[in-house]
Amino acid sequence: KAGVTQTPRYLIKTRGQQVTLSCSPISGHRSVSWYQQTPGQGLQFLFEYFSETQRNKGNFPGRFSGRQFSNSRSEMNVSTLELGDSALYLCASSSNREGTEAFFGQGTRLTVV
Amino acid sequence: DQQVKQNSPSLSVQEGRISILNCDYTNSMFDYFLWYKKYPAEGPTFLISISSIKDKNEDGRFTVFLNKSAKHLSLHIVPSQPGDSAVYFCAAPRGNSGGSNYKLTFGKGTLLTVNP
């Protein structure tokens, strides 16, 4: 069974640009969540999608958005990039059952210059 | 407000000895906890979990203990191996009305170094 796949692995963008990151969950998993990891803040929840609907959102500005497609694949978008958006962005997929763990992809390392 | 706390940023142990990683939480609504292991530039890998109906869960060299009254859990690794060197995160999921576990709240992690 293939794991969670995130593309691209690495990305360099300039301040003010926008970026789209992609995540393909484990087959059969309908919940996809996104996290930002930075050295100072650790792993922070961005948002979660289930059946193409955003069910939960973390405390991030509106520049961070996402969506989920009918095949459960998800994308997150960051507009008007700032230097502070440089981070490892992680996607996790899970089934919708209680007591189940989330499986993470390898992440996309975004560097904003 | 940090609801999941790992107060030790780092821990160094000798190969073959026990590693004990600690985690405290403040939200009494948390009823399920997970430990993840993370290498640099990779995603976290699920290690072990525990439900609040238990006080111990064991999987090979890894055992997690939960003390609900103290809102404290710990991960024991016995015996520790150099390959265990990584950052360990404690996490608690928050379900919503749908009942599933997601929206993980993570501690800041503990860097474990196992010396040969």
- Tens-digit pLDDT profile for residues B16-25: 999 999 999 9
Contact (CB<8Å) B100/A94: yes
* Model pLDDT, residue A94: 87
* CA distance to partner chain B, nearest, from residue A38 (Å): 10
* CA distance to partner chain B, nearest, from residue A88 (Å): 8
Contact (CB<8Å) A104/B41: no
* Model pLDDT, residue A97: 66
- pLDDT > 90 fraction of chain A, expressed in percent and rounded: 74
A11 touches chain B (CB under 8 A): no
Between A55 and B61, where is the model more confident? Answer: B61
Q: Which two tokens stand for residue A57?
A: 């959102």
Task: For residue B79, say if its preceding peptide bond is cis, omega within 30 degrees of 0.
Answer: yes
* Model pLDDT, residue A96: 66
pLDDT at B98 over 70: no
